[in-house]
Amino acid sequence: MLLIPAIDLKDGQCVRLEQGEMERVTVFSDAPEQMAAHWVEQGARRLHLVDLNGAFAGKPVNKDAIAAILDTVGDDIPVQIGGGIRDLETIERYIDMGISYVIIGTAAVKNPGFLQEACLQFRGHIIVGLDAKDGKAATDGWSKITGHDVGDLAKKYEDYGVNSIIYTDIGRDGMLQGINIDATVKLAQASRIPVIASGGLTNFDDIDALCAVVDEGVEGVICGRAIYSGDLDFAAAQARADALLDAKSKA
């Protein structure tokens, strides 16, 4: 179970939003690269970046902050990024910068042909971000709820060569209400694509619940507000997940 610290970028700062609303923002750092270094020191094995301004603008906005983070972490760990990725040129630029995985969200729902082409050209580097409310996909920075069922979308993407799916319950994101385990498992069961949970991670109970369903295809979780507020100790949580899965493998 891979625990992945999130660094959400807005106006060059590291922030967290409540339910994706730009006006409900908490600033945690004016130096996102220092936050990235902190999580690496705490044992992070991957970082999750989101260009929040880019998600609403439909194009990358926080390029300077992203470059600073990549310069800071170097080749130590892989970095994935989402937010405003709508064309192949943007994907290529990010990979050239040193990004390991590019997350396609809104464009994957609205333009599956683009997703398919991205997977062909950048095989192994493409993650789909499926954000949902009551099982229906949300797009455009969560501002629009579509009629697309996320399970049906996952099945469609199965043959594209998608690396994994990040599934976010937008009703819980940033609210410390716990991971929606049932919905996450349902999505994981809908296709053979590994799923990374997101939205609502709160405490060790969530870690325990996620480790219990790893065999269903849930391979990781994005860690957001809880590790910034101190509700969850990141290093201790990753150690707990490792211990649980080690014990499970030996059982």
The set of catalytic residues is: 8, 131
Cβ proximity of 150 and 132 under 8 Å:
yes
What is the number of alpha carbons within 13 Å of residue 136 lying toward its C-beta? 8
User: And the tokens for 176?
Assistant: 């410390």
DSSP readout, 20-40?
Answer: TEEEEEEEEES-HHHHHHHHH
C-alpha–C-alpha distance, residues 243 and 249, integer Å: 10
* Vertex 74: Cα angle to 217 and 228 (nearest 5): 60
Closest CA to 20 of 237, 198, 243: 198
C-alpha–C-alpha distance, residues 158 and 107, integer Å: 16
